[in-house]
Amino acid sequence: MLAIIGGTGLTQLDNLNINRRLIVRTPYGEPSQPLIFGEISGREVIFLARHGNGHTIPPHEVNYRANIAALHLQGVTEIAAIATVGGIHPDLSAGKIVIPHQIIDYTYGRKTTFHDGISNPVKHIDFTEPYCQTLREKWKNAAIAVGEEVVDHGVYAATQGPRLETAAEINRLERDGATVVGMTGMPEAALARELGISYATICPVANYAAGRGDNLHEIKYEEVISNLNLTMVRVRNIIAQLVKQNGHH
What distance in Å separates the CA atoms of residue 50 and residue 201, rounded to the nearest whole number?
13
> 86: part of which helix (H) or strand (E)?
strand 85-87
Per-residue pLDDT tens for 89-100? Answer: 999 999 999 999
The answer to whether the annotation marks 237 as part of a ligand binding site is no
Per-residue pLDDT tens for 33-88? Answer: 999 999 888 889 999 999 988 778 999 999 999 999 999 999 999 999 999 999 99
Number of domains in the chain: 1
What distance in Å separates the CA atoms of residue 68 and residue 111, rounded to the nearest whole number?
12
The answer to whether the annotation marks 207 as part of a ligand binding site is yes
What distance in Å separates the CA atoms of residue 118 and residue 66, rounded to the nearest whole number?
16
The answer to whether the annotation marks 131 as part of a ligand binding site is no
The answer to whether the annotation marks 50 as part of a ligand binding site is yes
CATH assignment at residue 86: 3.40.50.1580
Per-residue pLDDT tens for 167-177? Answer: 999 999 999 99
Residue 203: domain span: 2-245
The answer to whether the annotation marks 11 as part of a ligand binding site is no
What distance in Å separates the CA atoms of residue 166 and residue 66, rounded to the nearest whole number?
31
The answer to whether the annotation marks 8 as part of a ligand binding site is yes
